[in-house]
Structure 1
Amino acid sequence: MRLGQNLCHLTIAAFIAMALWSNAASADPVTPEQITVALPKLEALAQGAVADGAVPGLAIAVVHNDEVVFLKGFGHREAGKPETVDADTVFQIASLSKPVSATVVAALVSDGVVSWNSKIADLDPSFRLADPYPTSELTIRDLFSHRSGLPGTAGDDLEDIGYDRATILHRLRFVPPLSSFRAGYSYSNFGLTEGAVAAARPTGKSWEEVADEKLYRPLGMASTSSRNADFIKHANRAALHVKVDGAWAAKIKRDPDAQAPAGGVSSTARDLAEWVRLLLGDGVYAGKTLIAADALDQTHMPLMTRGKNPVSGGESFYGLGWNIEFGRHGLSWGHAGAFSVGARTLVTIFPKDKLGIVILANAFPTGVPEGLFDSFADLVFEGKVEKDWIEAWDAIYAGMFGPVVETAKARFAAPPSAARPAAPANAYAGHYANDFIGDAVVSRAGDGLMLKVGPAGARSYSLTHYDGDLFLTYPDAETPDRPVGVSFVVGPDGKASAVTIGFLDDNHLGTLPRVGD
């Protein structure tokens, strides 16, 4: 029954997509003159966004008809410092890495190394999902379209506490599925990462080496890498920024190596413009076929429904590492990227019009990339900007964490009037563990407790008593004022038999039994 429902779901989605595609294909392609008129206005909007403090810095590339027609940086690499952003400033591009990695896999498909339907069980026999049937049938296509059934946050929690890629991918087998196999869309960084790593395995090389060999070097993307060590070597690199007391501040660094295919690429506007040229050329670059068109075309076929664009209302689908949208100006391929610790990026391509734009920003939260893109699209296709798109998108991104933080703060605003005292510290102190989180150690620290988790206790969190056996901690760098509960179950012997770590419990795997005593 589930398989039949899944096929029906995909058939309906494909029918809707094809109908929208046909309608979108009817308009005349844009002319070079339309682009020429729009570009100075895009530049003015970008300058205004930086001048108004919407972001510290930006870099933008526009490609039309295989020509880079706009390439420029705005603002500063780091707020409060004089170094400016230019076309060669290296940004961490976050989830814009996904379509880049899909292009790398398309090159492997083109070369006959794998197919999009290659089974993960054949490529990487050690990988497991929670259930045997999906494990045996799972393909690269499933993982790049986020339809494996893995919950979206699976593995992100382990990355946050310091585990490496191999450990995280191994432990995905302990995560219960969020949906039936191929029946639901759930955006998964580590699911896609496994798809990319598995695709690279037949080459005998690491994912990072394959990305260099198949995409970055052939396109002359000399400043692009899937290694964080390469990013931090660049003097001309953008810092990550978050708001502190209403001002942008470069407070946090982010090493995304564990999920490099999904979020660990660093690049420049200049380099990404060359990648867009390859895409607009259907795999042909500088007159040479680098990737077979049919291998690349697969990435842009709508597979899973995503609903509507939250601001423009366009119908949105997911392909293989790409969003496919049927919006106000026809068919587009795109992807956004964000690190909640300070990065925002976007690529959008209008394939019929041979037009693409890349926008890189060094701050979060901000809707500037989408706002500039929607404004530019209006200018190109309509000759005028329909509304303040930056303001509309800012509201979307500003709302991502605000309600969560306020709810948590309200819940723990003050202990109950009849708050119960904590047990003695030695009731909680000890060693806890489960298969997914691994080890956790609770120890006395002054008047409170200290929780250590991750490999060799890599992350430490102070625990402050709240009520009874419930303690609070503040684990998130991006939301430092959000309290999260850490609770213990204390048995008749006066010792805690288990601890539940709230910030590691998204997938109900945050309860760790006491071990060893």
Structure 2
Amino acid sequence: MAARIAATVLTLALVAAGCSSEEASPEPLADSPPAVPAAQIDRADVDAAVGDLDGYVEAMMARTGTPGVAAAVVYQDEVLYSRGFGVRKVGTDEPVDTHTRFQLASVSKPVASSVIAASVGDGAVDWTDPVRRYEPEFAVADPYVSEHATFVDLLSHRSGLPDHAGDVLEDFGYDYDDIMGRLDQLPLASFRDSYAYTNFGFTAAGNAAAKAQGTDWPELSRRRIYEPLGMADTSSRFEDWANSPNHAVNHVLAEGSTTEWEAKYVREPDNQSPAGGASSSVDDMTKWIRMELGGGEFEGRRIVDADALQYTHTSHSLSGASGTEGARDSFYGLGFNVGTDDKGRVELSHSGAFALGASTTVFMLPSEQLGIVVLSNSAPVGGSETVSAQFMDQVRNGRQTVDWAPLIAGIFDGIAEEEASPIDYATPPASVTPARPATEYVGTFDSPFHGPARVSADGDRLTLTVGKDGRLTYPLTHYDGDTYFFETSGENAVGPTGVTFEIVNGAPASFAVEYLDKQGLGRFTRS
């Protein structure tokens, strides 16, 4: 009986497989599992998603009010889609087109990695070279790290420098040399055993590659990548973006609005050009994506050595350990976020954000030869990332499986809330301790890291002046006792932040600025 049941089960299995026992022949066994998953999407899948892309962009713009967007899709070395939407500046009828230059913000990083990979490929530098060999200004708190940090360490954010180290100094008017000269005051985490996103660490590596070749970063980028790819709309110099007649202006949300935008600020990122200073159009970005997906080749020409380029796509840092059993961790390569999707395919991506008015993203599936880029001229609210996620979801699944817009908007809201002070300065304590006479807070002060500061009084009103050459001036509002607050400004603004004075013998001995004190360096001492 058991044999008959087994035979019946075998027969059913063979019928289900569409063959007989006589016809069956086992598949030959592979020597090893495939290193790269076989393609799981085809042109019809991509075409269907491309057909929906206009709708994704238009819905995002209607929801967020974003003034201008450009998007493009590359599949199997072909540009299937490239289009501009909206206007370059609110209040005008200047249209965004596929040659409109957008500031890339941190999408500059994966582009920069290809510039350095091209340099590695022909032997100008090596990934394992210490950056200080070419950039002597680079120094951190640990002399060993200063001497031994390599291109890989700085491009994968594993030097031990704290998150966004030195960024606020740029708001204060300090230039690249000033900032390099102060990084050694910052506390370090474990070298090569920690991840913290640092624009100026990344920038030091880029500038080192340029100095090793006797030039500066914008020129190296032009020579290595932009010119060979014919990226005529692309530059790593701010003035080239600003002077272009077809550039997308920065926009921020109007006060109190979630959908009204204004062209209020201009972001000048030359001090951190490798990390955030490139500008480009979607037409140009498709050329770069084609080269990236083509293993360093473009239209039959070798632009970047294949092995050097692949090294940038390899994980070098654990950027986020999963807190959920069985979930995938997150990694960082050299200028790329590196991950895997639920079907085992490697994902390469990066977003860019200027709080003063730019939001960008690029996403690639190398095994599918598929990439998308979305550029917008608004401060980051998750719009570019939503369009990219919707497109990729449609390609992979033939439909939307996640409600991406609220999910991604919530992530961006959470980032803003995390950076804000836990104190609600708009609501004073139930019992407020009066301030001292304004003259008791007046004086000149200094911070080794943040530089000079001055507190002045006009009647009972206090003003704080900080930054290089007194760049920033803030009116102080009393909160409680010897604590005042002001509204921060610039690329690294976090909303209201506190200023707490230490009074000794009726005079201010020092004061601490809350948002500058995360690393214990926010205290200004009377000078």
1:264: how far off? 1.3
Within the candidate set 484, 498, 502, 2:510 is matched to 498
Q: State the distance in 2 between where 1:453 and 1:478 align.
A: 16
Contact 2:65 2:261 in 1 (8 A): no
| 2:20 paired residue number | none
Q: Distance in 2 between matches of 1:274 and 1:403?
A: 37
Distance 1:418 1:47, change over 3 A: closer
Matching residue of 1:102: 113
Partner residue in 2 for 1:160 = 171
Number of the residue aligned with 1:220: 230
- C-alpha separation in 2, matches of 1:276 and 1:207: 21
- How far 1:466 sits from its partner (Å)? 2.5
Distance 1:481 1:115, change over 3 A: closer
Q: Which amino acid aligns with 1:200?
A: A
Which of 192, 205, 211 matches 1:182?
A: 192
Alignment of 1:197-346 (within 5 A): 197-244=207-254, 245-250=257-262, 251-307=264-320, 315-328=329-342, 330-346=345-361
C-alpha distance in structure 1 between counterparts of 2:240 and 2:88, whole Å = 17
Residues 259-311 of structure 1, C-alpha deviations (whole Å, 9 max, x = no match): 1111111111011111111101111112111111111111011111223799x
Q: Give the distance between the partners of 1:404 and 1:366, measured in 2 at CA.
A: 15
- Give the aligned residue type for 2:202: L
In 2, the alpha carbon distance for the partners of 1:220 and 1:447 equals: 60
Cα drift, residue 162 of structure 1: 1.1
SS in 2 for 1:247: coil
What TM-score do the two structures reach when normalised by structure 2? 0.88
Change in Cα spacing, 1:510 to 1:219, as seen in structure 2 (3 Å) is same
Distance 2:236 2:404 in 1: 32
> Residue 136 of structure 2 is aligned with which of 91, 104, 125?
125
- The offset of 1:322, in angstroms, is 0.5
Percent of aligned pairs sharing the same letter:
39
**8 Å CA contact retained: 2:478, 2:484:** yes
Equivalent residue number for residue 76 of structure 1: 87
- The Cα of 1:247 is off from its aligned counterpart by 2.8
Matched, 1:413 2:424: no
**How big is the shift at 1:25?**
3.1
Shift of 1:434: 2.6
Q: Deviation string for 1:377-436 (max 9, x for gaps)?
A: 222222212132122211211222146547332x551145241322441x3222211321
User: Is residue 522 of structure 2 the alignment partner of residue 510 of structure 1?
Assistant: yes
1:483 is aligned to: 496
- The CA RMSD measured in Å over matched residues stands at 2.2
What residue in structure 2 maps to residue 18 of structure 1?
none
Mean CA deviation greater in 446-455 or 301-310: 301-310
Contact 1:94/1:265, CA 8 A, preserved across alignment:
yes
CA distance in structure 2 between the aligned counterparts of 1:416 and 1:353, rounded to whole angstroms = 61
- 1:391 aligned partner, one-letter code: P
- Partners of 1:365 and 1:435 lie apart in 2 by 32
Query: Counterpart of 1:374?
Result: 389
Unaligned runs of 5+ in 2: 1-32
Q: TM-score, normalised by structure 1?
A: 0.89
Corresponding residue to 1:396 among 411, 416, 419: 411
- Displacement of 1:176: 1.0
Matched position secondary structure for 2:311: helix
Contact 2:154–2:201 (8 Å) recurs in 1: yes
2:50 and 2:156 map into 1 onto residues whose CA distance is 34
Shift of 1:196: 0.8
Determine whether 1:452 maps to 2:462.
no
Secondary structure (helix, strand or coil) at the match of 1:408 reads coil
Structure-1 separation of matches of 2:108 and 2:315: 19
Residues 55 and 366 of structure 1 are in contact (CA less than 8 Å); yes or no, is this contact kept in structure 2?
A: no
What do residues 104-157 of structure 1 show as CA deviations (whole Å, max 9, x unaligned)?
A: 111111121111111023122332110111112111110000000000121111
Structure 1: 5+ residue stretches without partners: 1-21
Partner Cα separation in structure 2 for residue 72 and residue 171 of structure 1: 43
Whether contact under 8 Å (1:317, 1:323) holds in the other structure is yes
Alignment CA distance shift 1:267-1:309 (3 Å) = farther
Question: 1:261 and 1:34 mapped to 2: Cα distance?
Answer: 36
Conservation of the 8 A alpha-carbon contact between 1:54 and 1:368: no
Shift, 1:344, TM fit = 1.3
Instruction: Give the number of equivalent residue pairs.
Output: 489
Which residue number corresponds to residue 14 of structure 2? Answer: none
Contact 2:494 2:515 in 1 (8 A): no
